[in-house]
Structure 1
Amino acid sequence: MHPIYVRPVVAVCAIALATPVAAQESALPGSNSEASSPSTESATASDDDIILVNARRRSESAQQVPIAISVIGGRKLDDLGAFNVQRLQQISPSLNFFSSNPRNTAVNIRGIGVPFGLTNDGFDQGVGLYVDDVYFSRIASATLDFLDVAQIEVLRGPQGTLYGKNTTAGAINITTRRPTFTFEGRGELSVGNLGFTQAKASISGPVSDTVAARFALSSTDRRGTIFNTTSGNYINEQDNLGLRAQVLWEPADNLEVLLAGDYTDQNPECCAQIYVGTGLTQRPLNRQYAALAAAQNYQVPSENPFDRVTDVDANLNARNRIGGVSLRAQLDTAFGTLTSITAWRAWDWLPENDRDFTGLPITIRSQNPSQQDQWTQEFRFSHEGDRIGFLLGAFAFEQKVRTQGTQEQGPAASRWLLNPSSPLADDPTVLDGLTATNDIQLNNTSLALFGQLTWKVTDSLSLQPGFRVNYDRKKGLYESVVTNGDGQLVTSAETDPRIVAQRGVLAPQRFEPEFSDWNFSYDLTASYQLTDDILAYATYAKTFKPGGINLNGVPTDAAGSPILAVGSVRPETVNHYEAGLKTQFAARVATLNLSLFRTDIDDYQAQVVNGQLGVLRGYLANAEKVRTQGAEFDFEIRPSERFNAYLGGAFTDATYLRFTDAPCPPELSGGTTVGTGQTPGGAGVPGSLSPANCDISGEQLPGVSKWSITAGLEGSLPLSLLARAGELYLGMDGSWRARLSSNPTPSAYTWIEGYALANLRFGFRNDDGLNAFVWVRNVLDEDYFEQLAVPSGNTGLIVGQPADPRTYGLTLAYEF
């Protein structure tokens, strides 16, 4: 275990944080030098309400950046209760977040990013997560609480020519507050229903004339939203602790060095997906869920998932520890700015799950502890001239991941997991005690040179060509050793019928996949300043997503050997087109930004489900062609300091243009695989023949709604309280998303219906930094699912995650 993983014992005494302001009031004060600082204090905007961003690795107005970008200030995050990426999607309509546990998490932008619903260490993210310029390779980081955040930028579209790690869908750029040379402090304490408590505090100030330090912490606890009748506990709870420390050294006017360290510990009893319903498959009717449950006299505690009751009987754990150290040095010279960012990050994941999602002893143990070490080094040099500016960068990334998996079947497994035609399916001893012990390893290296030139052809017209040269290498190991309940080794050579049946459920495998490749990518952006307040831009990007390797097991041939041809997957090839308009009008009271986009992807990395009954998880493969296209808008108006409102929307048409060898939905699975000259049965017809694969060309990609809208407003009235000038305010925000598919192949059983959410806050704040407000989230107590899933075995069981019910509470905040 890493030495950072010693959980500190802290007592959090907190009042105070966050004066609610709209995103358009958040500013990042900085110099004209590249990236000015990894973070700066969120503050009220200037008279022109300019929002400064670091999207292009230099401080500039968001309205002058020819990129589709959403900017959310730290204070707005606090106001809206958006303390992690999952809540962030409620105010960023193009962002999609899905998580059944921290490791199995997907963050997508415009419908693309990572294969939906797939846990596999061997592929790259399409959405980059950066905190103070440091790349977080583990998407589990996206489940962490935001800690002392000044601003978040959600960049849409490829970002490979400006950022260290290549990302094809976009980037989430998080900027934390930096140390200050004036003494300040802030804190916040919130309490609410479901036992919710959250405390945040930070303090910053000078250590000497050249050294400043900042320390921040946060703690979040909440009772689980689902009651487990087996354990008597509420599960899917929150139990998070975060710490962050920074030391800033400024020995000269042109040099600064920032040392930062952070640690996060999550230790909830989590994460369970619960019974939602059933749907007929092509398995024999007496081997589908209803018949199997009746044969074992099993009844779920409730068939209404929004009763939020389950009876899962395996241990649950989602211990997630993440931490790291970074050193950022920036030197301003007469010609430009040189920046170096050195970082090490570690991740320790200790999960336990119930993979059968019921109270039956089918899978009685499922755990895949994983540890990661990551090292990154980035150098950037930037120059800004009257007509010519440029940024040149070099990036090195080294990652090691080690995973130890254990899965054990119980006495009920035979009926549920063996082939329905097997004469052993009614013998509970066949699978009882069957155990797979896995060793999974990944060594991942990525090296890159990248850059972008800015040429101001005229005072109005700018051209920005960019390039990236990338080398990626992945080497892995997957080894699964299987033993049965009698202690016998299950091998691929054994012909005993019991052993044959056992390895059909947990197959022994060993293979060492590899991938390496060079890639060259480029982009070109043209922007034209039509007036002082209207910017038009257009972008073309030819980019890629690195190839990957499968580290969850692969199909086997007739001899039981792994099919090595599917051990690796090809890189995605991406052609991206975008045009946009950024406008302000009515004396800059109103802002309206528009964008149109189209992204074509060849060899899209998608999830494929192995047709063998015992493979519980899918593997990675290439779909022939995917396209996402659509339109987005962001509108904000601030007619006075007493009122502001915003409205944002996205239309996203994300489609498999061609995927002829896709996994079939559950209604076309579970029967005997169709042979030569045979015809598959109809969808949901028990006992019929099943196709080996399905052509889903033209179907919608999973995890994305075609339409999504976010909106909000806040109004205030002046009020003096206890002789202190202040204001009474009321804020409302909401979001709506159309229905979306929650299965890699669209299924009639796994569509999540559209839903609308509304939130309220009402409070008082004064000029002395005091802020007190009550809040209600999901005011209408909307019942909706965050995710639906189809367990293995094709029994027709559908499980899911009910989202949070209505929550409410009180926040007290203070800053000085």
Structure 2
Amino acid sequence: MKYLAMAAAAACGLATPVVAQDSASPRAEADDRLPDVLVTARRRAEDVQRVPAAIGVVGGVLLDRSYTVNTQGLTVLIPSLIYASANPRNTALTIRGLGSSVVAVSQANDGLEPGVGFYVDQVYHARPATAAFDFADVERVEELRGPQGTLFGKNTTAGAINVTSRPPSFTREGFAELSYGDLDFVQAKGWVSGPLSDDIAYRVSAVSTRRDGVLANVRTGRAANTLGTQAVKAQLLVKPDDAIELRLIADVTNFQAYCCTQVYLRTGTSLRAGSRQFGGAQGLAAQFGYAPPSTDPYARVTDIDGPLGVDTNEGGANAIADWNLGFATLTSVTAWRFWNWDAENDRDYTGLPIQQSQHIPSRQDQYSQELRLASNGDGALRYVVGLYGFRQRIVGRPISIYGPAAARYLIGTVTGTTPVPANLLDGYGQDGRTDFRTRSYAGFGEVNWRLLPRLTATGGLRYTHETKRGDYATYTFGGPALTGSAAQVTALRNAQLGVLRGQTYSASDRDGSLSGRGNLAWQVSDAVLAYASFARGFKSGGINMSGLPLDAANRPALAAAVVRPERNTTWETGLKTSLFDRRLVVNVDGYWTKVRDFQATVVDTGPTQTAALRGYLSNIPRVEVRGVEADAAALVLPGLTLRAAFAYADGRYADYPAGPCPIELQSATTTACNLSGRRLASLPRLAVTAGIDYAQPIGSGAAFVHVDTASRSGVNGDPGLSRFTYIRGYNLTNANIGYRFADGIEVAVFARNLLDADYTQNVTVQAGNSGLVLGTPSDPRTIGMTLRFVG
């Protein structure tokens, strides 16, 4: 109840919203009411206050004013959105705690389909990694909460992030921005747009970001976790007449950085022998005479000795064609996208030569085609019907090589009665190939029927048919020649295989399912909308593409090559209000979600698993989340807008009798633990965001202040719910202050993490289950200056 009270106080006292108005624009500052916020959540432009659904909207001006250039930055503005990323490939998005497991290995499994759909310009991005990249020129971002599918191309069970780029303009215009700050942070972005002829317009936009590392490597003298991204987008808009419009888009994004590693967070304990744990007088650290460079994670110090680096790029092209037929508009969305990934990590996260190299270079190609027919006008009966096709292929090469300290650290000095040579794992490694393919076809539709002048019923259905196939093959190589008796050679070989062994398997899955939603909306008055809805979501089965636990055959309840489909049922009710001639907007919703066979990535803790902890897909029988959300915006005075929002959520493993064990309960015989009734990992009970925009005319221009702040309660960062992987709550505040000249030039001073808050972004249990827990600390405070020009 104390969290509900905090949430209510935040909503009322701060005067709210995440309905992120473009209140920072010069025109909005002069208006005496909040501007309308248009969204395309139902595949037609509508005022968000007229859409009976829980939607968070962040407009392009607010994105610019808040220095938000990627999905991670959105979490400061939208409380129900969680973004976790150990590196771009291992990225996960959740809405209301659902989507994908938010752990360091969450998206390393290419066979896992995300529960939160990520769309850019109506195109579904199959890998969440693309959400880690910067976007260059955005008109708005919509967060759609709950199952989607009756209107969107790819079916998703938890929600969707819908990013819309600014379109080409037939009026010449441009924008340029250059920022410089601490840690040699440099960011440049801009765009130009205008006509090429009477019926063709263009737009070219770009963003480039670089920053020195935030983690000091005392071994190499080189700072880790740098930033280095570049993105370019080019568009053409062809409009020969009022009935036909064709938009062609091509983009490419590159990410190269000395990234991404973690630092010492704490040492846990398990039920294993003391000599096989990291801490203690007889522990592994003592055996090697090793101590972390710092036990304070916010000293931001590491001593990793292995190679580190990320080299990845993604991009594609799409064509959006709209043909106004009079009674309806026919839309075609054709797209191809690619993603190349390569990164190398020191997965033991220490200065000991345990694991010399690990990386999984991979390539994804996806093709999609969507056809939609949407009725025109505002008649009593409106509809959207469509067909969707999607094909995807991901080819990978998992590589892992161990070093001279690996045998002592991961196996010990003896296996059974056979002494273990110190170099038993030196040069021992794994190579392989993976090949994952998906084909998905769907038909969907939604009808809005105005039963009475102010009462509208909505019904939507979707049928999805998907086939998936995965081929996984790895083999081991290297290591010293094994000597001794036949029994000793066998024991040593088994010790090597207990750390890492080759696997070969193929698996396929075929699913067909009907999903949909129903909604009843009552326009109580011109200023008040009430609604209630019911939705069923479906996510097809997944295939484990990171290998299975070494004893998976003995534990079918925990691991299988194919995991079952996920089915989501959500009930929701809400109220949207626009008060005092739209000077105050307040929206509230409540929901209850049940997920059957929730697909999650868990980490192996089986009895024979002595070395690399393996993340693999599994089904959680039932997960439930219920909560309340609210957002608001208030135009208090001309030029002064307040925003705030909160999300209260109670998420639980309603039925999880065979879950992963917390590290403190792991031993040589532990196989599974009952987590039923425990809180859902990585979902804060309370998240609150707030902001202020204030502009005051001074001279021929205007001075302005912008502040964003976000607070989240503590969570457990690992699905095993160990007390050693708990992440404390935190607050993050960003701000900027500046002056906007009449000629369009703007000068500002900005601060990211203004209060220099120390908090942990995500946690990892070290491979080998030694009890060593690593974490990614928050970025330190960054102060800098920005010069903008709008023409």
The TM-score normalised by the length of structure 2 is 0.93
| Aligned equivalents of 2:678, 2:555: Cα separation in 1 | 33
| Aligned equivalents of 2:24, 2:642: Cα separation in 1 | 18
Determine the structure 2 residue equivalent to 1:249. 238
**What amino acid maps onto 1:422 in structure 2?**
T
| Aligned equivalents of 2:532, 2:419: Cα separation in 1 | 61
Determine the structure 2 residue equivalent to 1:672. 668
The answer on 1:397 being equivalent to 2:390 is yes
| Aligned equivalents of 2:413, 2:583: Cα separation in 1 | 67
Once the 2 structures are TM-superposed, how far is the Cα of residue 46 of structure 1 from its aligned partner? Answer: 10
Q: Is the 8 A contact 1:25 1:50 kept in 2?
A: no
Once the 2 structures are TM-superposed, how far is the Cα of residue 314 of structure 1 from its aligned partner? Answer: 1.0
The answer on 1:240 being equivalent to 2:237 is no
Determine the structure 2 residue equivalent to 1:709. 688
**What amino acid maps onto 1:400 in structure 2?**
R
Once the 2 structures are TM-superposed, how far is the Cα of residue 495 of structure 1 from its aligned partner? Answer: 7.3
Determine the structure 2 residue equivalent to 1:37. none
Question: What is the DSSP-based 3-state SS (H/G/I as helix, E as strand, rest coil) of the residue aligned with 1:252?
Answer: coil
Once the 2 structures are TM-superposed, how far is the Cα of residue 116 of structure 1 from its aligned partner? Answer: 2.7
Determine the structure 2 residue equivalent to 1:697. 676
Residue of structure 1 aligned with 2:86, choices 100, 124, 138: 100
| Further displaced range: 198-207 or 411-420 | 411-420
Residue of structure 2 aligned with 1:280, choices 269, 288, 308: 269
**What amino acid maps onto 1:709 in structure 2?**
V
Determine the structure 2 residue equivalent to 1:138. 127
Q: Gaps (5+ residues) in structure 1?
A: 1-20, 29-40, 674-690
Residue of structure 2 aligned with 1:660, choices 657, 660, 674: 657
Q: Is the 8 A contact 1:554 1:563 kept in 2?
A: no
Determine the structure 1 residue equivalent to 2:102. 116
The answer on 1:367 being equivalent to 2:359 is yes
| Aligned equivalents of 1:455, 1:45: Cα separation in 2 | 35
Q: 1:534 to 1:495 in 2, by over 3 A?
A: farther
What pairs up with 1:90-489 in 2 under 5 angstroms?
A: 90-117=76-103, 118=106, 119-290=108-279, 291-385=283-377, 386-418=379-411, 422-423=415-416, 427-486=421-480
Determine the structure 2 residue equivalent to 1:10. none
Determine the structure 2 residue equivalent to 1:518. 512
> 1:147-182: per-residue Cα shift (whole Å, max 9, x none)?
111111111111111100011111111111111111
| Aligned equivalents of 1:494, 1:396: Cα separation in 2 | 56
| Aligned equivalents of 2:755, 2:776: Cα separation in 1 | 19
Q: Which aligned segments of 4 or more residues in structure 1 are displaced greater than 4 angstroms?
A: 41-48, 423-426, 556-565
| Aligned equivalents of 1:124, 1:553: Cα separation in 2 | 17
| Aligned equivalents of 1:45, 1:256: Cα separation in 2 | 32
The answer on 1:616 being equivalent to 2:616 is no
**What amino acid maps onto 1:810 in structure 2?**
M
Q: 1:44 to 1:517 in 2, by over 3 A?
A: farther
**What amino acid maps onto 1:574 in structure 2?**
N
Q: Is the 8 A contact 1:507 1:614 kept in 2?
A: no
Q: Is the 8 A contact 2:330 2:373 kept in 1?
A: yes
| Further displaced range: 258-267 or 565-574 | 565-574
| Aligned equivalents of 1:513, 1:541: Cα separation in 2 | 31
Q: Is the 8 A contact 2:24 2:693 kept in 1?
A: no
> 1:203-234: per-residue Cα shift (whole Å, max 9, x none)?
11111111111111110000110011222111
Once the 2 structures are TM-superposed, how far is the Cα of residue 655 of structure 1 from its aligned partner? Answer: 0.8
Question: What is the DSSP-based 3-state SS (H/G/I as helix, E as strand, rest coil) of the residue aligned with 2:776?
Answer: strand
**What amino acid maps onto 1:279 in structure 2?**
G
> 1:732-787: per-residue Cα shift (whole Å, max 9, x none)?
22111000110011111011101112222111113332221111121221110101
Determine the structure 2 residue equivalent to 1:70. 56
> 1:254-313: per-residue Cα shift (whole Å, max 9, x none)?
101111100001100000011112011111112211321222122221111111110111
Q: 1:144 to 1:557 in 2, by over 3 A?
A: closer
Question: What is the DSSP-based 3-state SS (H/G/I as helix, E as strand, rest coil) of the residue aligned with 2:240?
Answer: strand
| Further displaced range: 360-369 or 775-784 | 775-784
Once the 2 structures are TM-superposed, how far is the Cα of residue 320 of structure 1 from its aligned partner? Answer: 1.6
| Aligned equivalents of 2:431, 2:277: Cα separation in 1 | 29
Once the 2 structures are TM-superposed, how far is the Cα of residue 59 of structure 1 from its aligned partner? Answer: 0.3
What pairs up with 1:671-750 in 2 under 5 angstroms?
A: 671-673=667-669, 691-720=670-699, 725-750=700-725
Determine the structure 2 residue equivalent to 1:641. 638
Once the 2 structures are TM-superposed, how far is the Cα of residue 562 of structure 1 from its aligned partner? Answer: 10
Between the two structures, name the one with larger relative contact order (CA 8 Å, sep ≥ 6): 2
Question: What is the DSSP-based 3-state SS (H/G/I as helix, E as strand, rest coil) of the residue aligned with 1:768?
Answer: coil
Determine the structure 2 residue equivalent to 1:686. none
| Aligned equivalents of 2:265, 2:432: Cα separation in 1 | 31
| Aligned equivalents of 1:644, 1:716: Cα separation in 2 | 9
> 1:311-354: per-residue Cα shift (whole Å, max 9, x none)?
11111111120010001111001210000010000000011011
Question: What is the DSSP-based 3-state SS (H/G/I as helix, E as strand, rest coil) of the residue aligned with 1:327?
Answer: strand
| Aligned equivalents of 2:716, 2:56: Cα separation in 1 | 25
Q: Is the 8 A contact 1:569 1:621 kept in 2?
A: yes
Determine the structure 1 residue equivalent to 2:622. 625
Identity of aligned pairs, percent?
Answer: 40
Q: 1:358 to 1:456 in 2, by over 3 A?
A: same
Q: Is the 8 A contact 2:33 2:583 kept in 1?
A: no
Once the 2 structures are TM-superposed, how far is the Cα of residue 244 of structure 1 from its aligned partner? Answer: 0.3
**What amino acid maps onto 2:142 in structure 1?**
E
Q: Is the 8 A contact 2:195 2:202 kept in 1?
A: yes
Question: What is the DSSP-based 3-state SS (H/G/I as helix, E as strand, rest coil) of the residue aligned with 1:56?
Answer: coil
Q: Is the 8 A contact 1:418 1:425 kept in 2?
A: no
Q: How many residues align?
A: 759
| Aligned equivalents of 1:425, 1:807: Cα separation in 2 | 53
Determine the structure 2 residue equivalent to 1:533. 527
Determine the structure 1 residue equivalent to 2:74. 88
Once the 2 structures are TM-superposed, how far is the Cα of residue 614 of structure 1 from its aligned partner? Answer: 3.4
> 1:444-466: per-residue Cα shift (whole Å, max 9, x none)?
11111011001011110001100
**What amino acid maps onto 2:727 in structure 1?**
I
> 1:468-509: per-residue Cα shift (whole Å, max 9, x none)?
000111101111101231379xxxx99711111111111211
Q: 1:742 to 1:559 in 2, by over 3 A?
A: closer
Question: What is the DSSP-based 3-state SS (H/G/I as helix, E as strand, rest coil) of the residue aligned with 1:251?
Answer: coil
Question: What is the DSSP-based 3-state SS (H/G/I as helix, E as strand, rest coil) of the residue aligned with 1:219?
Answer: strand
| Aligned equivalents of 1:425, 1:276: Cα separation in 2 | 33
The TM-score normalised by the length of structure 1 is 0.90
Once the 2 structures are TM-superposed, how far is the Cα of residue 731 of structure 1 from its aligned partner? Answer: 2.1
The answer on 1:815 being equivalent to 2:785 is no
| Aligned equivalents of 1:400, 1:127: Cα separation in 2 | 20
Q: 1:136 to 1:468 in 2, by over 3 A?
A: same
Once the 2 structures are TM-superposed, how far is the Cα of residue 613 of structure 1 from its aligned partner? Answer: 2.1
Q: Is the 8 A contact 1:126 1:169 kept in 2?
A: yes
Q: Gaps (5+ residues) in structure 2?
A: 1-17
Q: 1:383 to 1:276 in 2, by over 3 A?
A: same
Q: 1:515 to 1:588 in 2, by over 3 A?
A: same
**What amino acid maps onto 1:66 in structure 2?**
P
**What amino acid maps onto 1:703 in structure 2?**
S
Determine the structure 2 residue equivalent to 1:505. 499
Q: Is the 8 A contact 1:625 1:656 kept in 2?
A: yes
> 1:109-150: per-residue Cα shift (whole Å, max 9, x none)?
000001232220002111111111011111011111121111
Q: Is the 8 A contact 1:752 1:785 kept in 2?
A: yes
| Aligned equivalents of 1:494, 1:120: Cα separation in 2 | 36
Q: 1:257 to 1:228 in 2, by over 3 A?
A: same
> 1:83-109: per-residue Cα shift (whole Å, max 9, x none)?
111111011000001000111111000
**What amino acid maps onto 1:379 in structure 2?**
L
Q: Is the 8 A contact 2:558 2:618 kept in 1?
A: no
Determine the structure 1 residue equivalent to 2:12. none
Once the 2 structures are TM-superposed, how far is the Cα of residue 22 of structure 1 from its aligned partner? Answer: 8.9
